[in-house]
A and B are shown apart, each in its own frame.
Chain A
Amino acid sequence: MHKLLSNKMTIFALVAPGMFLFLFMVCFPIAMSAYYGMTDWRGIGAYQFVGLDNYVQILTQDKVFWRSLLNALLLLAATLLIQHPIALLFSIFVTHSGRFEKLFRTVFFIPAVISIVVTSKMWVSVFHPNYGMLNKVLSAVGLESLKQDWLGDPKLAIWCVIFVIMWQGFGYALLLYYAGLQGIPKDLFEAAELDGAGRVKLYTKVVIPLLTPMVRVAVVIAVTACLKQMETIFLMTNGGPVNTTQFIGNYLYKTAFTSSLYGYGNAISVIFVIVCLIITVAMNRAFKKDVGEF
């Protein structure tokens, strides 16, 4: 058996299907996109080769593209700096809530289970300036002056959308950290206690450092989710008002299918892939440092 498995032909034969699938399903479409990105194809009919015009235009003149990228980074920052710390805190809280543990675990995960269409549309109604719950509650408690056109105000809309996306993803982040906490051996807690560590020290010096592998996973998932964000935007604002809540996924779709600029849309997708690659490489570099075993 060993002889067979170390045979080069065998290795090739076993790797080939996977490689073939990868080439065919991932590399080939990207290459096709890159090619179509160099045309002025409008979806139907003939097209012309225009070289790198589309790419140059996106990088130098397309404000919406940069705004979309900025929004993705804003969302990423908010996810990492707000959503994740809160999720971590709540997961610790859930672990210690005794007989309510199961209940809380379920409650916090519910938003992640409900269809995004439902939750997005629900939040659109909550934010509605006239019959939305948020404004109604504000006027009921006498805070009339805080009433806003939440999704219609170009300055506010992006924050409302980010809030909703964080809310939708909160359950998953919590679950990841919760699972990580379960994986830490109980004897470490006892050992720390015997050594005289208080609650705060226990968590800051022992538990959270041990959670690093889980943080890594959570961050990678968060980064991909933020960059890929499309469906909530599509359902809530479709990038409006005036493209202030635009994200690349949605912009790409709008360009290709509403404006019928397939060539240009393909060019956006290729640049998007490159941006994602850069971020991935940077992230891998940052995470190279290893943590101790336990």
Chain B
Amino acid sequence: MKKWSIIFAAIALVFTMAACSGNNGSKEPANTGSATKAPAATDSPSAAPENITLKFFTALADRSNGMGKIEQAIIDSYMSENPHVKIEVEALQDEPYKAKAKVYGSTDSLPDIIQAWGQPSFIKPLIDSGLLLELNEGDFAASCFIPGSMDGFSQDGKLYGLPRNTDFLVLYYNKKLFDDNGISVPATVSDLVEAAKQFRAKGINPITTNAMEGWSLPIWFEYVAQRANGDFNKIDDVLNGKSTFSGDADFLAAAQSIVELSEGKAFADGFLTADYGTSRNLFGQGQAAMYIMGNWEAGLATDENFPAEFRDNVGAISYPISDKGKATDLAAWFGGGYSISNSTKHPEEAVKFLQYFFKPENWAKQLWQTGSGTPAQKFDDFLTGSESELMKQLVQLFGATTSASNTPFLDLGTDEYKTKVMEAHQKLFGKSITPEQFLKELDAAVELLK
């Protein structure tokens, strides 16, 4: 009998060790799927508020600069005003963020408040699976969101998230490099090709962007296509099945003009392997003359990591024009924002926090006045007059918009479609396929959506 007890002890030991490593997955409380209480916008705090913790999952990984810093500051001040609420922040870079959000989604363990993008590629699967809490638009009336900015976060007339930013793609340029080399800032598409050739001849990288991640390329192509056909909506027509990319002379011309840029060596060395940080640095350190990126990089003019000579000389223009596309036709959309998980145990508190977050004097004011981006709320009250030259140019650009592209077309579908679209662009920009093949690949990607 004694020997048996030894064996059992040994077995028990093995099993307890197995248990230690095996039970990570099932800690999450079962989602009861309880009906979501529409939170009333009552301000009166209850007598003795119980301590609660909200998990906050964001894609602003840099917590000490730009938008991440503001986000953190608002969270901190909310916690000090509401000592019973503790907000735990988890922050990851865009791509890892999206990957992890999917894991959270598929295991039904979304954090209470998550960053969301009002674009079908991100938010539609979450809404369709009932993972997001329906919000009441009236609760946020005081935040003065720009009309239309909530559309991306809505489905079937219900609101599932709130927009944080207004985004648009511009061409940043380094005035000093242009002046020093006697090159004029390109006004038209053909000027751009010419300017690129001149920079190349002087041994300077003409244009850079984050082609390794790849999402800026399709938006760039939207510009090029618009300049070729005069209408941002033609791409939407293709996605809606009304036409195709191949066989359209204007899309072909657009793809050819990208090839023309490529043949003129307009793209910086290492173009396809430059990620966000690399391309931004290349431009900021004066190694590239132009940078295709969103308006959220307004902070380039104040970033102490770059030499003053650069900061004082950075400017932004709309994409060069053609006889069909004007400078006021802008590739603009509403980007990131926040949603609340449907399985949160504290929906009222989460909504209260978002109400606080989106108070005009919080997010909108701080975002604008630090030059970290453009809010999706009204912010005219917060213009100080002391904005950097770059910020003024960006406001002017946006204010003059006559037509906008809306949600970038790569985000109007599934992730598989998005990857295919980005890869097709990387191939085109890297000259490994012809414009005709490129359009065929885009059509094949669109085919996936049917």
Taking Cβ atoms with an 8 Å cutoff, the residues of A that contact B are 4, 10, 13-14, 16-18, 20-21, 24, 42-45, 124, 128-131, 149, 151-152, 154, 157, 237-238, 240-243, 254, 257-262
Q: Which residue, of A21, A130, A237, has the highest number of chain B Cβ atoms within 10 A? A: A130
- Chain B, interface size category, equals 35 or more
Q: Which of B291-299, B373-381, B423-431 is the contact stretch?
A: B423-431
In angstroms, Cα B128 to Cα A152, docked, is 40
In angstroms, Cα B106 to Cα A241, docked, is 31
In angstroms, Cα B22 to Cα A240, docked, is 36
- Shortest 7 CB-CB contacts between residues of A and residues of B: A129-B269, A260-B415, A17-B14, A257-B99, A241-B272, A259-B419, A152-B270
Q: In chain A, what residue has the closest Cβ to B423?
A: A242
**Is the beta-carbon distance between A130 and B416 smaller than 8 angstroms?**
no
**Is the beta-carbon distance between B212 and A42 smaller than 8 angstroms?**
no
Min C-beta distance of A278 to chain B, whole Å: 29
The DSSP consensus for interface residues of chain B is helix
Q: In chain B, what residue has the closest Cβ to A154?
A: B432
Q: Does B18 contact A (CB under 8 A)?
A: yes
In angstroms, Cα B276 to Cα A238, docked, is 13
Min C-beta distance of A26 to chain B, whole Å: 13
Q: Does B125 contact A (CB under 8 A)?
A: yes
Q: Report 20 cross-chain contacts, Cβ distance below 8 Å, ordered by A residue.
A: A13-B11, A14-B11, A16-B11, A18-B14, A21-B14, A42-B415, A42-B416, A44-B126, A44-B128, A44-B129, A129-B270, A131-B287, A152-B270, A152-B273, A154-B432, A157-B273, A238-B212, A240-B212, A242-B430, A258-B419
Known: A154-B432, A261-B416. A128 touches B270 (CB 8 A): yes
Select which of A43, A241, A261 is within 8 A of B273 by beta carbon.
Answer: A241
Min C-beta distance of B212 to chain A, whole Å: 6
Q: Which residues of A contact B423 (CB under 8 A)?
A: 242-243
**Is the beta-carbon distance between A259 and B270 smaller than 8 angstroms?**
no
Q: Does B54 contact A (CB under 8 A)?
A: no
In angstroms, Cα B103 to Cα A242, docked, is 27
Q: Which residues of B contact A241 (CB under 8 A)?
A: 272-273, 426, 430, 432
Select which of B129, B273, B285, B414 is within 8 A of A260 by beta carbon.
Answer: B414
Q: Does B282 contact A (CB under 8 A)?
A: yes
Q: Which residues of B contact A262 (CB under 8 A)?
A: 106
Q: Which residues of A contact B141 (CB under 8 A)?
A: none
Q: In chain A, what residue has the closest Cβ to B126?
A: A44
Select which of B15, B272, B282 is within 8 A of A130 by beta carbon.
Answer: B282
Interface string of B99-129 (1 = CB under 8 A from A): 1001101100000000000000000011011
Select which of B7, B15, B282 is within 8 A of A14 by beta carbon.
Answer: B7
Q: Which residues of A contact B414 (CB under 8 A)?
A: 42, 260
Q: Does B343 contact A (CB under 8 A)?
A: no
Q: Which residues of A contact B430 (CB under 8 A)?
A: 154, 241-242
In angstroms, Cα B377 to Cα A126, docked, is 44
Select which of B131, B212, B287, B416 is within 8 A of A259 by beta carbon.
Answer: B416
Min C-beta distance of B283 to chain A, whole Å: 11
Q: Which residues of A contact B128 (CB under 8 A)?
A: 44-45
**Is the beta-carbon distance between B272 and A45 smaller than 8 angstroms?**
no
Select which of A13, A254, A260 is within 8 A of B102 by beta carbon.
Answer: A260
Min C-beta distance of B420 to chain A, whole Å: 8
Min C-beta distance of B348 to chain A, whole Å: 26
Q: Which residues of A contact B22 (CB under 8 A)?
A: 24
Q: Which residues of A contact B99 (CB under 8 A)?
A: 257-258
In angstroms, Cα B414 to Cα A240, docked, is 21
In angstroms, Cα B414 to Cα A231, docked, is 26
Min C-beta distance of B67 to chain A, whole Å: 23
Identify 16 new A-B residue pairs, CB closer than 8 A, beyond the known A44-B106, A238-B212, A240-B272. A13-B11, A16-B11, A18-B14, A20-B18, A21-B18, A24-B22, A42-B415, A44-B105, A154-B430, A240-B426, A257-B99, A257-B102, A258-B95, A258-B419, A260-B102, A260-B414
Q: Does B10 contact A (CB under 8 A)?
A: yes
**Is the beta-carbon distance between B419 and A149 smaller than 8 angstroms?**
no
**Is the beta-carbon distance between A17 and B18 smaller than 8 angstroms?**
yes
In angstroms, Cα B271 to Cα A124, docked, is 13
Q: Which residues of A contact B415 (CB under 8 A)?
A: 42, 258-261
Q: Which residues of A contact B268 (CB under 8 A)?
A: 130
Min C-beta distance of A16 to chain B, whole Å: 8
Min C-beta distance of A253 to chain B, whole Å: 8
**Is the beta-carbon distance between A44 and B273 smaller than 8 angstroms?**
no
Min C-beta distance of A10 to chain B, whole Å: 7
Known: A131-B287, A242-B272, A260-B414. A44 touches B7 (CB 8 A): no
In angstroms, Cα B212 to Cα A258, docked, is 14
Q: Does B344 contact A (CB under 8 A)?
A: no
Q: In chain A, what residue has the closest Cβ to B288?
A: A130
Known: A257-B99, A259-B416. A10 touches B272 (CB 8 A): no
**Is the beta-carbon distance between B270 and A151 smaller than 8 angstroms?**
yes
In angstroms, Cα B6 to Cα A4, docked, is 12
In angstroms, Cα B419 to Cα A159, docked, is 25
Q: In chain A, what residue has the closest Cβ to B14?
A: A17
Min C-beta distance of B171 to chain A, whole Å: 20
Q: Does B27 contact A (CB under 8 A)?
A: no
Select which of B102, B269, B278, B420 is within 8 A of A149 by beta carbon.
Answer: B269
In angstroms, Cα B22 to Cα A90, docked, is 43
Which chain B residues in 122-154 approach chain A with CB under 8 Å? 125-126, 128-129, 131
Q: Which residues of B contact A131 (CB under 8 A)?
A: 285, 287
**Is the beta-carbon distance between B273 and A4 smaller than 8 angstroms?**
no
Which chain B residues in 76-104 approach chain A with CB under 8 Å? 95, 98-99, 102-103
Q: Does B205 contact A (CB under 8 A)?
A: yes
Which chain B residues in 385-424 approach chain A with CB under 8 Å? 414-416, 418-420, 423
**Is the beta-carbon distance between A14 and B270 smaller than 8 angstroms?**
no
In angstroms, Cα B397 to Cα A244, docked, is 39
**Is the beta-carbon distance between A14 and B105 smaller than 8 angstroms?**
no
Q: In chain B, what residue has the closest Cβ to A129?
A: B269
**Is the beta-carbon distance between A130 and B287 smaller than 8 angstroms?**
yes
In angstroms, Cα B433 to Cα A242, docked, is 11
Q: Does B324 contact A (CB under 8 A)?
A: no
**Is the beta-carbon distance between A152 and B271 smaller than 8 angstroms?**
yes
In angstroms, Cα B418 to Cα A14, docked, is 52
Q: Does B3 contact A (CB under 8 A)?
A: yes
Min C-beta distance of A84 to chain B, whole Å: 29
Q: Which residues of B contact A129 (CB under 8 A)?
A: 269-270
In angstroms, Cα B416 to Cα A262, docked, is 10
Known: A45-B129, A238-B212, A258-B95. A151 touches B416 (CB 8 A): no
**Is the beta-carbon distance between A43 and B105 smaller than 8 angstroms?**
yes
Q: Which residues of A contact B285 (CB under 8 A)?
A: 131
In angstroms, Cα B270 to Cα A149, docked, is 6
Q: Which residues of B contact A16 (CB under 8 A)?
A: 11
